[in-house]
Amino acid sequence: MELSKKHHWLALFVLIFATFGLSAFGTLAVTSSLSVWYPSLAKPSWNPPSAVFGPVWTVLYLMMAVAAWLVWRRGSEAEVVPAMTAYFGQLVLNILWSLIFFGLKAPGWAVFDIVVLWVAIIVAIAQFGKVSRIAAWLLVPYLAWVTFASLLNITIWRMNG
């Protein structure tokens, strides 16, 4: 898997593009619901302002892509395949959460997805840790945010159920 430095940077660009590009599907569902449906929901007092979510997700997606790049760059094929499978699996669950919560307007079903997502992130952290401790640690803030988002999702579901 030895590639020139130029190809390493190309791989980083591809992973950043793929991570942000895939997340754009979830964003499409969010955009349509943010103006009417989401503001109408009862939310806890500790719900962050809407302006917080975009910057937080931007930083988290960038950290996730860099972590995936570190694994791709440093790992053997036997390590990279399961790690990247875990990475893209959790990314799909992340996108599905947005589609379920905002697109379908189904916070209850979104709870199920976000719990599975939380487990998938732990699996990705474990797989990344086999290749790069730094890559694994880069996913920890994401896990923390999804933990918070899980509590928020459950609370919104209960308050509006």
Tell the residue number behind the tokens 């896990």, with chain if given.
Answer: 143
CA 155, CA 161: separation in Å to the nearest integer?
A: 10
pLDDT of residue 1: 44
- Amino acid identity of 116? V
- Amino acid identity of 133? R
Query: 114: domain CATH number?
Result: 1.20.1260.100
What is the pLDDT tens value at each position of the chain, 161 positions in all?
Answer: 444 445 777 888 889 888 988 888 777 767 778 788 999 999 999 999 989 998 999 999 999 999 999 999 887 888 989 999 999 999 999 999 999 999 999 999 999 999 999 999 999 999 999 999 999 999 999 999 999 999 999 999 999 98
Q: State the residue range of the domain holding 30.
A: 5-160
SS (H, E, C) the chain: CCCCHHHHHHHHHHHHHHHHHHHHHHHHHHHHHHCCHHHHCCCCCCCCCHHHHHHHHHHHHHHHHHHHHHHHHHCCHHHHHHHHHHHHHHHHHHHHHHHHHHHCCCHHHHHHHHHHHHHHHHHHHHHHHCCCHHHHHHCHHHHHHHHHHHHHHHHHHHHHC
The tokens describing 12, both together, are: 């980083």
pLDDT of residue 6: 57
pLDDT in tens, 124-145: 999 999 999 999 999 999 999 9
Number of compact structural domains in the chain: 1
